[in-house]
Structure 1
């Protein structure tokens, strides 16, 4: 049958809280995680702070820090509502890629810092130097491979690179 899918709002709330806790356990700020997953789970393309607050059972003021964090990461855009003082918040297209790709400069910085640390530790032959070299090599690999991964990912989704 070609019936329309039925949304389970209680299931959606459980999903938002479960994924938010998971992200928070990995170091993501808890309210930012809740806002992010709420935006991901929304049928609407964008939500106001009041919409987010209502769905999460918090005050609109509690939303601002999470939204600010997500905007800083480049995952969420703020758009004014014409004729209103309210703003709409929406996920950028390819938000996950944007976060990963904007961090690629971080990878180079880490590589440079690990090289400095290696000099101070006496080189890769020491235990600590070996540990730093592993980290350096990992992030150097990520920095090199990330653009290739984006191309592969986009190709797998039928998008031009």
Structure 2
């Protein structure tokens, strides 16, 4: 099975396979590549519906150029500590690959790519917190892009904001309860969906096919929401013992 980075031709074959409606497994088989390679490639370049071979090739070349650019000597050590790569004897290339995989996984759950990149950045940073400026510098994006991403993450309760003591700037923080809060927020959303579906069933008429369908949706989301809450509370209790 070949290794190394995907070639431009392989990216064209991925795009053709997606256009033909092939699965990731079928495309990987054609390329003689691991399925995970194809999955990450598509996820980090817009997803199955937006993947374009030429754009993916340019994006990969751009990432490679940025990694080769050497930062100024005064900033290098501090940046490495904040950005994880190179700190504690870590292999920067391995850390970079981990970040790419983490981001691809988060994109697969439905997060926009920039939001997933910000979340990944916070998770792999030892302090678990960064300012908006540090995030923008680390990810080489505009402050506006960071602002939109952290807003989405705060809305989902996956991060929280802290004001730095004595300074007029915020830090965005990942803590031990981040996923618990995010999970509970999702459970609450399921409850909202359940209530809406049942109200819709009454509006449409409970005895009609459409009304019955909406009633079933309401039952489903109520069950899922309650199960999520119980599972999260059980986890928290077990963690506190």
With the shorter chain as reference, the TM-score category is: 0.7 to 0.9
In structure 2, the CA distance between the partners of 1:72 and 1:92, relative to structure 1 (3 Å rule), is farther
Query: In the alignment, what sits opposite 1:135?
Result: 217
Output the CA distance in 2 between the equivalents of 1:146 and 1:90: 24
- Where does the alignment leave 5 or more consecutive residues of structure 1 unmatched? none
- Where does the alignment leave 5 or more consecutive residues of structure 2 unmatched? 1-87
Query: In the alignment, what sits opposite 1:48?
Result: 131
Query: In the alignment, what sits opposite 2:51?
Result: none
* Aligned pair partner of 2:235 in 134, 137, 153: 153
Output the CA distance in 1 between the equivalents of 2:204 and 2:165: 58
My pick for the range that moved more, 13-22 or 29-38, is 13-22
For residue 9 of structure 1, report the CA deviation from its aligned partner. 2.5
The TM-score with structure 1 as length reference comes to: 0.76
Output the CA distance in 2 between the equivalents of 1:6 and 1:133: 56
Cα deviation code 1:54-91 (max 9, x no counterpart)? 32222334211111221222222222233433322111
In structure 2, the CA distance between the partners of 1:120 and 1:75, relative to structure 1 (3 Å rule), is same
Output the CA distance in 2 between the equivalents of 1:112 and 1:78: 31
Aligned length: 154
Query: In the alignment, what sits opposite 1:115?
Result: 198
Output the CA distance in 1 between the equivalents of 2:230 and 2:191: 16
Cα deviation code 1:16-70 (max 9, x no counterpart)? 2333233234331222111111111111131122222232222334211111221
Query: In the alignment, what sits opposite 1:28?
Result: 111
Larger Rg belongs to? 2
In structure 2, the CA distance between the partners of 1:125 and 1:91, relative to structure 1 (3 Å rule), is same
Report the secondary structure of 2:181's partner residue. Answer: helix
Query: 2:187 aligned with 1:104, yes or no?
Result: yes
For residue 129 of structure 1, report the CA deviation from its aligned partner. 4.7
Query: In the alignment, what sits opposite 2:96?
Result: 13
My pick for the range that moved more, 114-123 or 64-73, is 114-123
For residue 131 of structure 1, report the CA deviation from its aligned partner. 4.1
In structure 2, the CA distance between the partners of 1:6 and 1:106, relative to structure 1 (3 Å rule), is same
Output the CA distance in 2 between the equivalents of 1:119 and 1:71: 34
The TM-score with structure 2 as length reference comes to: 0.54
Query: 2:154 aligned with 1:71, yes or no?
Result: yes
* Aligned pair partner of 2:140 in 48, 57, 69: 57
